[in-house]
Chains A and B, each alone.
Chain A
Amino acid sequence: MKDGSTDFIRVECASLYYGGGDDGVLALKDTNLTIARGEFAAVVGPSGCGKSTLLKLVSGLNRASTGKVVVDEADVRKPLKIVGMAFQNPALLPWRTTLENLLLPLQVAEPHRQQFRRERGRYVEQARALLAKVGLAGAEDRFPWQLSGGMLQRASLCRALIHDPQILLLDEPFGALDAFTREELWDILQQLWQDQHFTVLLVTHDLAEAVYLADTVHVFSNRPGRVVHRRAIDLPRPRNSDMRFSTVFVDHVHELRAQIRREREVI
């Protein structure tokens, strides 16, 4: 936690049913979770436990069936405009170049869309700077199908951040990448987060990823998901790949793994 101020994101006793009636699926049950402003939080758990559902609740794309989600002291009732999102599927528009893909949020989100035509030059500069920061300088005018998986994911991260969101929601963004690329992207993400001070909620099934990046790791139970364990990761920043083999780091991962195994046994 960076400044230790009051909770920025609060999920209070939230449950979510998909579908209605008796055949509806209970995806989340009485989930409680708090994240401070500027904190890097990770959620881990068995697959299909409702982790992604949690992101939808926090972003306001879905509303909780019971309980509530509070962001910045206000109930979340509709999609929040202060979030950026990135998924395992980079989902860039294939007919746009990397640069044009980055401009998409600015063409859609208020207040940028009003001034997009007038300020296009400034926005383009902003996008180029962000791309350069993640090592994509030179790829601005290439199309998504000309980029590698790691480059696509970098571009997807940039698209999530171009409008300067206060919250970054990540749903297994590095899940489909090879190990080397993944570790590279961990460092890029850590760097971006340290520079720009947004709040992150990262959903992942990679425990090492969670420990490497997060201040706090929340362990989810089997479906219907809820948080069963919360673990503060007190490793110093910036973290680097050497730390991954330190005893402290490995202990954290082991503990988390044991927690999840316990969850999987209780069905």
Chain B
Amino acid sequence: MKWRRALFTASPWITTIGFFLLWEIGCRAFNVATFVLPTPSDAFKALVDNWSGIWPNARHTMFTTLIGFGIAVVFGVVLGVAVGASALLYRSLNPLLVGFNSIPKVAVVPILVLWFGIGTAPAIITAFLVAFFPISVNVAAGIATTEPELEDVLRSLGASKLDILYRVGLPRSLPYFFASLKVAITLAFVGSVISETVAANEGIGYLMLTASSTFRVPLVFASLFVIAAMGILMYAVAAAFERRHTKWATRGLDQYGTG
């Protein structure tokens, strides 16, 4: 049993390291050219060698992503609460929202550039546009699924719609909200990096674009590593928040060590 437990704890490290090992061995065994697929060690070397160039760009991307994500959280929650609390709003806004979410955001970037010029603004807005949807959908679902019995109990006590929202709807939607944060933060990175690769002079996306146009493929992969690392970091932060605030919803998982 002790063994199983240790394996469980170490499993994410084992699979990740295993993945990189396979990659490394595969590249060497089949003699893959560096400008097609560099080995992870090449990429890590590029990461270390170019750190002084990567770091400011990574910081910039992190900054854009977090601002876009922040706006997405505020907007997503407000929209989600409104849509979840009112069947009329839900019905009337649904086609627009679904339609909007189906548009590939990379197609929107040129329009944003037209409006705001090349730079940080399109990246922030793209991150926001990609990230708000899962947040509002989840918050709305949490509120809309309030048990009808509970609503009857509260209404018969003279509770207003606002009372029910405050006492039941909002606390109920918290686990949904935190779960959606984990999705939204990774999507926000997708949004900002997409925008940076299309129209920016700063950021990891921009760095990747310039690196690939000069065939510095290891640097491209190093940038990908940086994006992935930032994504994992922010995901972990969101997950930690989730665990802290919604113990009641994840009680069954404690014994399996969700850390």
Which residues of A come within 8 Å of B, CB atoms? 56, 59-61, 79-81, 83-85, 87, 89, 91, 93-95, 104-105, 107-110, 143, 145, 159-160, 163
Q: Which of A81, A91, A93, A95 contacts B157 (CB 8 A)?
A: A81
CB–CB B156/A94 < 8 A: no
B242 to chain A, nearest CB (A): 14
Is residue B152 contacting chain A, with contact meaning CB distance below 8 A? yes
Is residue B153 contacting chain A, with contact meaning CB distance below 8 A? yes
Q: Determine the chain A residues whose CB is within 8 A of the CB of B147 once the complex forms.
A: 89, 91
Q: Determine the chain B residues whose CB is within 8 A of the CB of A108 once the complex forms.
A: 154, 157-159, 163, 167
The residue in chain A whose Cβ has the minimal distance to the Cβ of B146 is A91
CB–CB B248/A85 < 8 A: no
CB–CB A79/B158 < 8 A: yes
Q: Determine the chain A residues whose CB is within 8 A of the CB of B168 once the complex forms.
A: 93
Which residues in window 139-153 of B have CB below 8 A to A?
147, 149-150, 152-153
The residue in chain B whose Cβ has the minimal distance to the Cβ of A105 is B157
Given A89-B147, A108-B154, A108-B157, 11 further pairs, Cβ under 8 A = A56-B152, A59-B156, A61-B156, A81-B158, A91-B147, A91-B153, A95-B249, A108-B159, A109-B157, A109-B159, A163-B157
Interface of B is mostly: helix
Residue interface bits B161-177, CB-to-A below 8 A is 1, else 0? 00100011001101000
Residue interface bits B31-71, CB-to-A below 8 A is 1, else 0? 00000000000000000000000000000000000000000
Residue in B149, B156, B168 whose Cβ sees the most chain A Cβ within 10 Å: B156
Residue in A60, A85, A91, A163 whose Cβ sees the most chain B Cβ within 10 Å: A91
Q: Which of B156, B163, B172 contacts A60 (CB 8 A)?
A: B156
> Considering the chains assembled together, what is the distance between the CA atoms of A188 and B130 in angstroms?
55
Q: Which of B150, B156, B246 contacts A83 (CB 8 A)?
A: B156
CB–CB A61/B158 < 8 A: no
Which residues in window 110-168 of B have CB below 8 A to A?
147, 149-150, 152-159, 163, 167-168
A166 to chain B, nearest CB (A): 12
> Considering the chains assembled together, what is the distance between the CA atoms of A60 and B155 in angstroms?
9
CB–CB A104/B167 < 8 A: yes
Q: Determine the chain A residues whose CB is within 8 A of the CB of B156 once the complex forms.
A: 59-61, 79-81, 83-85
Q: Determine the chain A residues whose CB is within 8 A of the CB of B157 once the complex forms.
A: 79, 81, 105, 108-109, 163
Is residue B244 contacting chain A, with contact meaning CB distance below 8 A? no
Is residue B251 contacting chain A, with contact meaning CB distance below 8 A? yes
> Considering the chains assembled together, what is the distance between the CA atoms of A234 and B44 in angstroms?
87
The residue in chain B whose Cβ has the minimal distance to the Cβ of A107 is B167
> Considering the chains assembled together, what is the distance between the CA atoms of A56 and B153 in angstroms?
11
CB–CB A94/B149 < 8 A: no
Q: Which of A81, A104, A143 contacts B248 (CB 8 A)?
A: A143
The residue in chain A whose Cβ has the minimal distance to the Cβ of B251 is A145
B177 to chain A, nearest CB (A): 13
> Considering the chains assembled together, what is the distance between the CA atoms of A87 and B147 in angstroms?
11
Identify the 3 closest CB pairs spanning chains A and B, nearest first.
Answer: A109-B157, A91-B149, A95-B248
A165 to chain B, nearest CB (A): 9
The residue in chain B whose Cβ has the minimal distance to the Cβ of A87 is B149
CB–CB B249/A61 < 8 A: no
Given A107-B167, A145-B251: A91 touches B158 (CB 8 Å cut-off): no
CB–CB B153/A160 < 8 A: yes
Q: Determine the chain A residues whose CB is within 8 A of the CB of B163 once the complex forms.
A: 108
Given A94-B249, A95-B248: A61 touches B167 (CB 8 Å cut-off): no
Q: Determine the chain B residues whose CB is within 8 A of the CB of A159 once the complex forms.
A: 153
**Can you name 20 A-B residue pairings with CB atoms under 8 Å?**
A60-B156, A61-B152, A79-B157, A83-B156, A85-B152, A85-B153, A89-B147, A91-B150, A93-B167, A95-B171, A95-B248, A95-B249, A104-B154, A104-B167, A105-B153, A108-B157, A108-B159, A108-B163, A109-B157, A160-B153
